[in-house]
């Protein structure tokens, strides 16, 4: 009989967390940032797709993340209520507000600033992110003509995340700091001053989203300007994109939970010492099989493949060994087969 039943002792399950570089080619940090002129011309008033490689020169360049700016009243974009124009910043604000904030919320909260009506957002490409961004694993540098800041999240001191009631948890604060040599945070989000302007932003690892507070980025150190003209195509998202380009550093890792089943395949000494492999036998003129002379006195077999079956004898999974392993009456084989989901 070719099958051997698996018992409960032969099967174990576990879940492991795998982290890896999020950017194209598996890099965990990138220094160059490009946009596509075609995309920017067509939909750049909504979002800017950001690439690691120049899409006009590298056919394999893929979108890494998007940059947007949202404003509750639609400031910084064309159109007003009752007038033509897509009011793109209002559309972005409503989109993110509906997704992240509870019903009947009309403002974003950045610590002491509970009435924020505008934000920048960095949204990671889903395929790059896979499942989530690793909290405490990213660092973004922004630079302007005035100065430069390094942003991280406060996972290291705020493990459980903020307790503000949002639609997604955990939520971490974006703070000024660095991951180099261990996480250092310059100032806790709750201690940022002036309190009315609030913190640098919030971070949602499960959404792959970093919200940044334009009012805070517009203060000392960076002084990143933003415009809130009425019925005016100000392209504030371009201002953040330029600050990312000039900052020249974005480090990030993604995090995935991999559930694995382990099957311990035990080929005991007394079993699997023969085979139906045609080359194991000679065939006489009469068509009767005989074991080839080399194997007739002390039969040996080689295991190359493990097949896992259900009760209906359907082949459900296959594991191939890298090299054949010897099996005989004096040798047992223990093969651990790992099946990931």
Question: Is residue 9 close enough to count as binding other proteins by CB under 8 A?
Answer: no
Residue from 3, 64, 87, 126 that binds other proteins (CB under 8 A)?
3
Question: Is residue 147 close enough to count as binding other proteins by CB under 8 A?
Answer: no
Among 58-66, 102-110, 137-145, 301-309, the segment contacting other proteins (CB under 8 A): 301-309
Cα–Cα distance between 58 and 289 in angstroms, integer? 60
- In terms of Cα–Cα distance, which of 287, 202, 201, 244 is closest to 30? 244
Nearer to other proteins, 57 or 315 (CB): 315
Min dist. Cβ of residue 104 to other proteins (A): 36
What are 333's strand-pairing partners?
Answer: 267
Pairing relationship of beta strands 29-30 and 250-251 according to DSSP bridges: antiparallel
**Before 170, cis peptide (omega within 30)?**
yes
- Binding residues for other proteins, how many (CB under 8 A)? 71
Among 46-54, 162-170, 183-191, 294-302, the segment contacting other proteins (CB under 8 A): 294-302
Nearer to other proteins, 146 or 318 (CB): 318
User: What is the per-residue binding string for other proteins in 249-288, x denoting contact by CB under 8 A?
Assistant: ------------x-xxx-x--xxxxxxxxxxxx-----xx
Question: Is residue 329 close enough to count as binding other proteins by CB under 8 A?
Answer: no
- What is the DSSP secondary-structure string of 83-125? SSS--HHHHHHHHHHHHHSPTT--SEEETTEEEE-EEEEEEE-
* Cβ–Cβ under 8 Å, residues 28 and 138: no
Min dist. Cβ of residue 261 to other proteins (A): 8
Min dist. Cβ of residue 254 to other proteins (A): 20
Q: How is residue 227 written in tokens?
A: 């415009």
Question: Is residue 91 close enough to count as binding other proteins by CB under 8 A?
Answer: no
Question: Is residue 332 close enough to count as binding other proteins by CB under 8 A?
Answer: no
The b/e string for 150-187 (b: 16+ C-beta within 10 A; e otherwise) is: bbbbbbbebeebbeeebeeebbbbbbbbbbeeebebee
Min dist. Cβ of residue 256 to other proteins (A): 16
Min dist. Cβ of residue 27 to other proteins (A): 25
Residue from 18, 83, 307, 330 that binds other proteins (CB under 8 A)?
307
Nearer to other proteins, 124 or 337 (CB): 337
Question: Is residue 331 close enough to count as binding other proteins by CB under 8 A?
Answer: no
Cα–Cα distance between 177 and 188 in angstroms, integer? 10
- Phi and psi at residue 237, in whole multiples of 5°? -60, -30
Question: Is residue 8 close enough to count as binding other proteins by CB under 8 A?
Answer: no
């Amino acid at each position: 009989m070719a099958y051997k039943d698996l018992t409960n002792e032969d099967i174990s399950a576990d879940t492991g967390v795998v982290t890896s570089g999020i950017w194209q080619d598996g890099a965990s940090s990138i220094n160059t940032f490009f946009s596509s002129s075609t995309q920017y011309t067509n939909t750049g008033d909504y979002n800017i797709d950001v690439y690691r490689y120049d899409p006009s020169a590298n056919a394999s360049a893929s979108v890494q993340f998007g940059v947007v700016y949202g404003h509750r009243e639609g400031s910084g974009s064309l159109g007003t209520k009752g007038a033509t124009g897509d009011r793109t910043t209002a559309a972005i604000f409503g989109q993110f507000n509906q997704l992240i904030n509870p019903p009947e919320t009309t403002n974003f909260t950045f610590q002491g600033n509970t009435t924020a009506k505008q934000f920048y957002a960095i949204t990671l490409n889903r395929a790059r992110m896979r499942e989530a961004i690793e909290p405490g694993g990213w660092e973004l540098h922004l630079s302007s003509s005035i100065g430069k800041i390094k942003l991280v999240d406060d996972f290291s001191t705020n493990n459980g995340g903020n307790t503000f009631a949002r639609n997604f948890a955990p939520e971490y604060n974006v703070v000024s700091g660095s991951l180099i040599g261990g996480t250092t945070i310059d100032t806790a989000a709750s201690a940022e001053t002036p309190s009315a302007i609030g913190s640098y932003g919030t971070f949602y690892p499960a959404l792959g989203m970093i919200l940044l507070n334009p009012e805070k980025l517009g203060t000392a150190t960076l002084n990143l300007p933003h415009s809130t003209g009425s019925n005016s195509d100000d392209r504030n998202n371009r201002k953040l994109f330029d600050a990312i380009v000039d900052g020249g550093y974005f480090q990030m890792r993604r995090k995935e939970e991999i559930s694995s089943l382990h099957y311990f395949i035990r080929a005991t000494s007394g079993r699997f010492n023969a085979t139906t492999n045609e080359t194991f036998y000679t065939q006489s003129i009469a068509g009767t099989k005989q074991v080839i002379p080399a194997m007739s006195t002390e039969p040996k077999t080689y295991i190359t493949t493990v097949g896992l079956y259900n009760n209906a004898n359907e082949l459900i999974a296959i594991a191939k060994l890298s090299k054949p392993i010897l099996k005989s009456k004096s040798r047992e084989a223990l093969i651990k087969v790992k099946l990931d989901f």
